[in-house]
Structure 1
C-alpha cells in the first residue's frame, strides 16, 4: 500500500510538472527556426544557433533524468558543451545524432506531455476539488447548485456527503490505478526518444571500435618503427662490427692455423648470414625506406626493382597513417612480384590516389590474366592486409588479360 501510494505521488508530480514544461517546449522549434534564420542578420545565427541547440540539449537532458529517476534506471550524462570555433560548433550540431534525438523528443514531448498532464490534472483535480467543494455546497447559488458525479445536484448535507464521497472514491481509484501507469508510459517514451536505438548503439560501437583500432594500428606502426630502428642501428651495427673483427682476425692468422682458422671462417660466415636474415626481418617488419623516403619514394624504389617495366603515377596523397603506408607498400610489392612471376606482362602501371578519405591503389598489367586465388598467387595475402584496415580488394583478371587489382584503404583516423 505504501509503495503504491509512493508511485501515485511520484507519478502525479511527474505528469503535473510535465504539463507546463510541454507547453513551454512548444516554443523550442519556432525559436530554433528563428535562430537559424538569423544567420542572414550579419551572421548572428552562426553563433546563436549552436548555443540554442545546446540549450535544447540541456532542457531535454533534464527531462531525461526525471524520466530515468521515475523508472529507477541509470543513465549516463550526455555531452552538452560546444568545441571552440564556429565551424567545429556547426559540425557538431549537424553531425551529432544526439541533436536529431533532441528534436525528435521535442515533438514527442509536446504531443504526449500535454495530454498526459491534462489527464493527471483531471484525475487529481477531481479528487481534490470534490474534497474541497462538497463541504462548501451551500456557497453555490440555489439556481446553479454544485453538481457531483456529472449530474447529481447537491442541495443538502446528505447529497453532499454521499455524492462527494462517491466522486472522491471514483477519482481516487482512477488516480490510484491510471496515474502511475500513465507516468511510466510517458517516461519510457521520453527515454526511447532520447536514448539511441539498437541500430544506433551498434553504429556507435562500431565507430568506437574503428577509432580504437585505428589508434592501436598507429601505435603498432610506431612500435614497429622503433624496433626497426633499434635493430638497424643497434643489433645490425654490432653484427657488422663483429663480422669486421672476425674478418680482420682471419686475415691476421697465419696459414698454418688449421682448426682455428676454420672456426673463425665459420663464425665469420655465420655472422654474415645472420646479418642477411636480420635485414630480411627488418624489411618485413617495417621497411626502412618508408621512414627515409615516404610512401612515394618507397613505391618508386619497388617499381625500379620490379622484374617487369613499371610506371608509377602518384596523386596528392597527403599525410597517411603509418599502418596504411606500410600496408600500401607491401601490397604494391606483392602485386609487382605476382606480375613478374605469373602474368608474363611486359608493362605494369601502378597508380596511387587519395579520394574521399581513402587511399586507392590500382595495379594494372598487360599479362595473360586468368587470376586464380586458389593457386597461391598472393592475392589472399593482399586481401588480409587490406581487411586488417577495413579495406577492400577488387580483382579483375579475365583470361587473356589485362589484370587490374584495385585496393581501397580507409585513411581516416
Structure 2
C-alpha cells in the first residue's frame, strides 16, 4: 500500500473508531458521579483508574497516528483509601483525564461524523450504483434531483458522487484525524510549563540524592582519615619522638634528620586535621548541628546568643552547609565588623532550614571587594538556597539564609 493510501486509511480508521468511543465517553462523567455517590466516594479511585486506562488507550492511538513517542502513564494506585485519595488530589494526570473526556466528546463526535459522511459517500455511492435496480423506481437520485433510471445514470452516480466523496476523504479526513490527535495529546500531555516544573522537580530530587550520597561519602572519608591516617601519623610522630629521646647527644646529622622528620609528621597531622574540618567537621557527627554551632560561636571571641528551634532530622549536606555558613559569617563579623554581640538563630519553618546571624557591628558589607559573603552564597546556591543580606553603613548586619531540606 502506498504511503498516501496508508495515511488515508489510518486516518479514516482512527476517526471511525473514535466516533463510538466519543459517544460512549458522554456517559463517563455521569458514571463517575453515580459510582462515587453510590459507594460513598470509596469507589472513585478505582473508577478514575479505569478512566486512566481509557484515556491512555486513546493517547497511544493519537501518538501512533502522529508518529510521536510518548511515555506511558501508570495507573497504579497505592494501598489504602486515604493514600489513594491523596494520589487523586495531588496527581495532575487525573485532572487531565477529566478534561480530556470533555474534549474528546466535543471534537470526536463532529470529526467522526464528518469522516463517516466522507467515507460513506465515497463507498456508498459505488455500492448503491451497482444495486440501483433493487431500489424502487425514482427513489435513487443523482445529486438528489436526477433519478437513476438506467446504467448511464447509475455509473454517473458512482463516478460523480463517489468521486466527490473520495476527494473529500482524501483531503479532509487526514487533516481531521491529525487535528483530533493533536487535541487528544494536548489534553493528556502536560503543558511546557508543567513539563518544565516536573523536570525541575526531578532534577531537585536527583540533586538531593547526590548531595546525600556526597555527604555520606564525606563522612566516610572523614572517619577513615580520622581513625586511620591520622592515627598512623600520630604513631609515627610518637616513635620519632621516642627515637629522638634515645639518641645520644653527639648523634649529629642523625639527630637533625630525626628532628626534621618529627616536625614534618606533626605538621602533616595539623594539615590533616584542617582538611578533615573543612571536609566534614567531626563535631557535626559527634554533637549535631546545635552543638556544632554552639561550639563555633564560643570560639569567635564575640559574646553570642544561640537560639535553636525544633529542627528534626536534616540531610547531612544541609547540616554541613549551615555549619560552614555560620562559621564564615562569624569569622567575617570578628574580623571586620567590630561587633560586640552576635545572635545566631536556627529554625525550620515548613521544609526549609532558616539560618539567621545578626551582629551590632559597623555594617556596610561590600560584596564586590571579595568578602566572605561570596562563599556563603555559593554554599547556599549549591542546595538551591537563598541568601539575604541587610547591612547598612553603621550597622547592624543581618545575614539570612534559607536552605531547602525537604
Q: Same fold (TM over 0.5)?
A: yes
Q: How does 1:294-373 map to 2 (within 5 A)?
A: 294-373=288-367
Quickly say closer, same or farther: Cα 1:84–1:2, change in 2 above 3 A: same
CA distance in structure 2 between the aligned counterparts of 1:37 and 1:311, rounded to whole angstroms: 58
CA contact 2:45–2:85 (8 Å) conserved in 1: yes
Corresponding position of 1:130: 125
Corresponding position of 2:253: 259
CA distance in structure 2 between the aligned counterparts of 1:280 and 1:250, rounded to whole angstroms: 27
Q: Cα offset for 1:269?
A: 1.6
Identify which of 366, 375, 383 aligns with 1:389.
383
Unaligned runs of 5+ in 2: none
Identify which of 116, 128, 146 aligns with 1:121.
116
SS at match of 1:369: coil
Identify which of 88, 98, 103 aligns with 1:93.
88
Q: Cα offset for 1:135?
A: 4.0
Corresponding position of 1:105: 100
Q: How does 1:132-171 map to 2 (within 5 A)?
A: 132-142=127-137, 145-171=139-165
Q: Cα offset for 1:2?
A: 3.0
Corresponding position of 1:209: 203
CA contact 2:309–2:347 (8 Å) conserved in 1: yes
CA contact 1:137–1:145 (8 Å) conserved in 2: no
CA distance in structure 2 between the aligned counterparts of 1:233 and 1:2, rounded to whole angstroms: 75
SS at match of 2:250: helix
Output one character per residue of 1:298-319: Cα deviation in whole Å (capped at 9) or x when no partner: 1111122222011111111111
Q: Cα offset for 1:94?
A: 2.2
Q: Cα offset for 1:237?
A: 0.4
Identify which of 183, 199, 208 aligns with 2:193.
199
Corresponding position of 2:220: 226
CA distance in structure 2 between the aligned counterparts of 1:375 and 1:307, rounded to whole angstroms: 25
Q: Cα offset for 1:282?
A: 0.3
Corresponding position of 2:182: 188
CA contact 2:377–2:386 (8 Å) conserved in 1: yes
Corresponding position of 1:10: 10
Unaligned runs of 5+ in 1: none
Q: TM-score, normalised by structure 1?
A: 0.92
CA distance in structure 2 between the aligned counterparts of 1:362 and 1:400, rounded to whole angstroms: 19
Q: Cα offset for 1:205?
A: 2.0
Q: Is residue 2:378 matched to residue 1:375?
A: no
Greater Cα offset, 191-200 or 209-218? 191-200
CA contact 1:67–1:191 (8 Å) conserved in 2: yes
RMSD, aligned α-carbons: 2.0
Q: Number of residues paired by the alignment?
A: 406
Output one character per residue of 1:57-105: Cα deviation in whole Å (capped at 9) or x when no partner: 2111111111122222232222221123334323332222322332232
CA distance in structure 2 between the aligned counterparts of 1:281 and 1:240, rounded to whole angstroms: 16
SS at match of 1:255: coil
Output one character per residue of 1:222-264: Cα deviation in whole Å (capped at 9) or x when no partner: 1111110000000100111111111112222222323222222
Q: Cα offset for 1:37?
A: 4.8
Q: TM-score, normalised by structure 2?
A: 0.94
Greater Cα offset, 269-278 or 153-162? 153-162
SS at match of 2:344: strand
